A and B are shown apart, each in its own frame.
Chain A
Amino acid sequence: MILLTTTANVIDYYWYPFVVDLETFIRLRYGVENFALLLESRKDILEHAVERIKDALEHGEVRTEPQVVELAVCGYHAARLLIASLGDRWLASRYALAEAERSYKRLQNEEPRTIEALAKILGVNLTYLAEPYREPIAIVNNVVIYRQYEYRIHFLDYVKVAQRLLGDPTWRPTNLPVKQGYIYLTKKQITRILKEAIATHIERSIIGFRIELAALPQTVKEYVETVKGLLSKYRKPKVVKTGGKKYSIKLPEGVVLVEAFPPCMKDIYDALLRGENLSHHQRFAIATFMLNIGATIDQVVDLFRNVPDFNEKITRYQVEHLAGLRGSQKKYLTYGCEKMRTLGLCRGDCGVKNPIVAYYKNASKLIRRSKEKEASS
């Protein structure tokens, strides 16, 4: 294996192909500049790339184990290229998460210097503590028992990388040892955080991959088609049923008029259907909104089917929780407009205090209009 960067002896590219700079790699390894052209003569790489994508679609995790490092590295980058050419946001997220899942398996057993080096490449500023930070938790048999933390990360770096985990209280800084601007984490926690960082890094590198579809060699184009086929096979878009036939201001349960959504909710709704990976706040907002305007649990769960990390069991559990069927038994209200505004999710000035009110206002207008139409026709 050629030494590509100083990190080569610390980071095993087989497990972390995303750290490899593609251009440098193919120049040194094959003496070529154009990756697409290289692929034309290397169907094995393309085959392997498709394997990786298929794993992502099927298992949510890349499982295939190529024979050599070179195949892993090129296969990963080829998969990126294929997905980028397709331009599907959902697939990009799904694949990124699946690759992160693969790396994560290995990451849990890595040495501190590897974890540090990887973090650095991912732009996460963390430090391994030769002497762990210790928090006393109790005295047992007259001996003080400590919990140990081997890593620390700056508060702001933490909230940046852990953004999508923050919906879970255990990941909130509130419940972590915060000291002098740093958050202390165990090895287990730090690897989980890095998994997030890997997924984000890969997703960005796919979205940022600029490709001229027309300029791709024929062979590569054929593989793009293959991926397209796979995608439509695995991802049957599920669209929430909207509206029944009978309209009345008091809408029966399960009747949801998407046409009456205020702009903020319409935006999140559309993003969900496109399969974009949404923030915790966005998910919370749309789910509570739908539940409060009379959508059923199934309708809300269905809406999330397109998100890249969809897991039916977990989603159902969470939605049931929001609906007040579990835990505290309290039905969650949706965010008010003011909160939506501070979250940067407001998309208009509807002259109301709560998106629910905007919905009913719009709905009754719609209904009146349709009645007028009926009357005049």
Chain B
Amino acid sequence: MELDKTRRFLRHLFRSYYLENRVLLPKDFHMREFAYQPWDSDTYKRHLSFKTVNEVQRLLSTVAPRHFYYSSAKYEYPDEPDMDKKGWLGADLIFDIDADHLPVCQNKTIELTTSNGEKIDLIDEECVRYAAFEALKLYDALVYELGIPKHNIKIEFSGNRGFHVTVYLDVDDVWAKASSVERREIVNYLKAVDLLDETLNPPINVKRKKRVMHIAPTIAMGGLRGRLGRIAVLLAEKKYGNKDLARVLSRNEIISWNQLKNRFGDIVENIFNDAKEELAIHVDEQVTVDIKRLIRVPYSLHGKTGLRVEPVDPQKLDSFQLSPELSPFQRYDKIAVVALVDTPPISILGLRIKLRKGESYRLPAPQAVYLMARGLVAVK
């Protein structure tokens, strides 16, 4: 495929990034398969393997790939092209949270057709914040419910509109050996599939009903009750800004609904109703059940946005937002581009813009690169 001017330009920018920056590799990277997609082809180069970090950087700075991945699986022979002979040893637990799969973000996308007829959709940038909250819920569930050590869990902004949550595992860890069938049950559990009402409100059998006081879930309870308690704490703190209530709820004291309501009023009910809506954690099932998935390498660039795949500290998830800072080209000069399509008003990394086909614009580099990578504008 002959590269057009825009793609050549993008490849040039990516190369300059990789010449100066290193991607982040797990210590067992030599057991993983690497793959990339070049700019001039729709097919992936797969079954690569590397012994040293320098080899990886050399590839990146010469090829400057459009997308760069390693496998969630670890293999005896990572470069063996025949999947059956690769010698699967175990795989990380991986979760993909994509803003456009969240129920709250349905109908919040704008569909556009690029110059070469490809359909793309741009999601409302606010939705990435919902995705961040989802990632936070997932992190808590992994730690408190599934007992995954915090330091094994890494969260990254995907470079597009969501988050990747990876549980890095040694190959002999029980979770690493889990089959697809078992991983599907993890997903079902996280999604709270088939949740029964009596799970959240356990029935109690006593003769004199009057004497019974029902209790609020606490953060230390097991399963979905504990999750409900933890989400209520998050909401009290972050959404309702009620620090007192958040403190009481996170004290892990057994407290009846009546006591809580007497003290804090109607807000208690609102918070727990909201928390119930948030119980399911929306991860992409297909990604998690795949025990040989390719995942984006942290600090590599996403070829459809020009943004970095950026590690995010779980504590900082709630302040995460899409901004030009996620682009390595923030300090570059403005770039002159030509719009290839007409668009309604759209927001790109915080910049409101409306494109008219054929017209020229001088845009800040992060937004210009984003739109070029998306195929909505061409370099001038």
Contacts and interface: CB of A to CB of B under 8 A. Distances in A.
Interface of A: 133, 135-141, 144-145, 147, 154-156, 159-160, 163, 166, 169-170, 172-182, 184, 342-344
A137 B204 CA distance: 7
Contacts of A145: 204
Interface stretch (B40-48, B219-227, B234-242, B337-345): B219-227
Given A138-B212, A139-B256, A175 B181 contact: no
14 contacts: A137-B204, A139-B213, A139-B256, A166-B185, A169-B196, A172-B188, A172-B189, A173-B223, A175-B199, A177-B221, A177-B223, A179-B222, A179-B226, A181-B145
B169 to A, nearest CB: 12
Contacts of A181: 145-148
A179 B225 CA distance: 11
A147 B199 contact: no
A136 B204 contact: no
Contacts of A177: 221-223, 225
Interface string B254-266: 1010000000000
A172 B212 CA distance: 28
Interface of B: 144-148, 174-175, 178, 180-182, 184-186, 188-189, 192-196, 198-199, 202, 204, 206, 211-215, 218, 221-226, 254, 256, 285-286, 289
A82 to B, nearest CB: 32
Contacts of B254: 136, 139, 144
Contacts of A169: 194-196
B205 to A, nearest CB: 10
Contact of B182 (A140, A147, A160): A160
B170 to A, nearest CB: 15
A105 B108 CA distance: 57
Q: At the interface, is chain A mostly helix, strand, loop or mixed? A: mixed
Contacts of B144: 179-180
A178 B215 contact: no
A28 to B, nearest CB: 36
Given A174-B193, A174-B194, A179-B226, A136 B221 contact: yes
Contacts of A141: 211
Contacts of B215: 136-139, 144
Nearest to A182: B147
A171 to B, nearest CB: 9
Between B145, B222, B225, the greatest number of chain A beta carbons within 10 A of the residue's beta carbon is seen for B222
- Give 9 closest A-B pairs by Cβ, nearest first: A177-B222, A181-B147, A180-B147, A169-B194, A159-B185, A137-B202, A139-B213, A179-B222, A175-B199
Contact of A140 (B186, B193, B211, B223): B211
Between A156, A176, A184, the greatest number of chain B beta carbons within 10 A of the residue's beta carbon is seen for A156
Contact of B223 (A139, A166, A179, A342): A179
Contact of A179 (B145, B180, B192): B145
A154 B194 CA distance: 21
A18 B186 CA distance: 32
Contacts of B193: 172, 174
Contacts of B222: 133, 135, 176-179, 184
Contacts of A170: 196
A175 B196 contact: yes
Contacts of B214: 138-139
Between A139, A141, A169, the greatest number of chain B beta carbons within 10 A of the residue's beta carbon is seen for A139
Nearest to B192: A174
A136 B178 CA distance: 32
B301 to A, nearest CB: 29
Between A137, A141, A176, the greatest number of chain B beta carbons within 10 A of the residue's beta carbon is seen for A137
Contacts of A342: 184, 285-286, 289
Nearest to A149: B222
Nearest to A177: B222
A282 B92 CA distance: 28
A191 to B, nearest CB: 20
B223 A175 contact: yes
A315 B211 CA distance: 42
B299 to A, nearest CB: 30
B284 to A, nearest CB: 11
Between A147, A160, A166, A181, the greatest number of chain B beta carbons within 10 A of the residue's beta carbon is seen for A181
Contact of A159 (B145, B182, B198, B289): B182
A373 to B, nearest CB: 43
B248 to A, nearest CB: 16
A140 B204 contact: yes
A147 B202 contact: yes
A343 B179 CA distance: 12
A350 B222 CA distance: 44
A126 to B, nearest CB: 14
Contacts of B180: 344
B171 to A, nearest CB: 15
Contact of A155 (B146, B202, B218, B226): B146
A134 to B, nearest CB: 10
Nearest to B217: A136
B372 to A, nearest CB: 32
Contacts of A344: 180-181
A123 B202 CA distance: 32
Contacts of A178: 145-146, 189, 222-223
Nearest to A137: B202
Given A136-B215, A137-B215, A179-B222, A174 B199 contact: yes
Contacts of B189: 155, 172-174, 178
A155 B192 CA distance: 15
A144 B215 CA distance: 9
Contact of A135 (B174, B182, B192, B221): B221
Nearest to B141: A178
Given A135-B221, A139-B214, A181-B147, 18 more contacts: A137-B215, A138-B213, A138-B215, A139-B254, A139-B256, A156-B175, A159-B186, A172-B189, A173-B223, A174-B199, A175-B224, A176-B223, A177-B225, A178-B189, A179-B226, A342-B285, A343-B184, A344-B181
Nearest to A158: B185
B206 A140 contact: yes
A180 B289 CA distance: 21
Nearest to A167: B194
A141 B213 CA distance: 8
B34 to A, nearest CB: 25
A29 B144 CA distance: 52
Contact of B174 (A136, A154, A163, A174): A154
